Homo-oligomer: A and B are copies of this chain.
Amino acid sequence: MRRPLIRKLEKFTRLSQADKDMLLRIAAQRVRRFAAREDIIHEGEKPEFINLISEGWACRYKTLQDGRRQIIAFFLPGDLCDLNVFVLKEMDHSIGAITPVVVSEISRTAFDEMMIGHPRITQALWWESLVAAAIQREWTVNLGQRDALERMAHLLCELFIRLEAAGCTSNSSCEFPLTQTELGETLGMSTVHVNRTLQELRASNLIVLKDRTLTIPNLKALQDVALFNPNYLHLDREGRHLDANEE
């Protein structure tokens, strides 16, 4: 019933019923569950599968020798980890569950099989992987140029819009399972400063964040604070833009 990948890919292109059936079939082949905080794959291992997150939140992260940890990316429902990972000999980072997650493991043969005869899927998956790269670039800008408030606002905008594309929002709210520690590891700031920054956003009525639920009463206003330009998410299928209402 929840098909976040399909929902997301259809932001980019139209899929036939056969395409959708194929995606659902592949995703059903090998399903694994992980507990919150459990590693899905660890640095140094040889990757054997493409992982599709079908439920829950996960993250890519790296740890320095002295223990500092940086979260490099979030995987939300419908996100794929590393389409072409088969080329590499070993993982240079880890992927860990944030909440309990359900993951579909896609083998190389299943993946190749899917690409053959489904050009729409193929193209849509390339799009998804290019968007992932664009997000990584935007994070570089975020960490390099924006101050704490802008940075936090930018992250919240991005996550909200991505969740919306996957069908995981209702009105102006979404589940938001990240702890302040995880936010700090993402944005390169201390938990104390994460807290200060969230307080400031709350005081300006830009966000409501309580009981693992995030509400953004006025997305446009938050985007303005963040200097957020959604173009890097490439969600506009026909020159349609994100500030126009969706669906």
A140 smallest CB distance to B (angstroms) = 5
How many copies of this chain are found per oligomer? 2
Is the beta-carbon distance between B227 and A144 smaller than 8 angstroms? no
- Interface residues of chain A, those whose CB is within 8 Å of chain B, are 60, 62, 64-66, 68-70, 72-73, 82, 84-85, 87-90, 92-93, 123, 126-127, 129-130, 133-134, 136-141, 143-146, 185-188, 227, 229, 231-232, 234, 236
Residue of B nearest to A227 (CB): B64
B residues near A126, Cβ cutoff 8 Å: 84, 87
How far is A236 from B144 in the complex, measured between Cα atoms in Å? 30
The distance in angstroms between the C-alpha atoms of A84 and B141, with both chains bound, is 22
Choose one: B62, B137, B146; the contact of A60 (CB below 8 Å).
B137
Question: With a CB–CB cut-off of 8 A, which chain B residues contact A138?
Answer: 62
Residues B130 and A68 in contact, CB atoms below 8 Å apart = no
- Shortest distance in angstroms between A146's beta carbon and chain B's nearest beta carbon? 8
- Are the CB atoms of B92 and A141 closer together than 8 Å? no
Partner of A140 from the list B82, B85, B90, B136 (CB cut-off 8 Å) is B136
Interface centre among A87, A126, A127 (most CB of B within 10 A): A87
The residue from B72, B89, B137 contacting A234, defined by CB atoms under 8 A apart? B89
- Contact call A137/B137, Cβ cutoff below 8 A: no
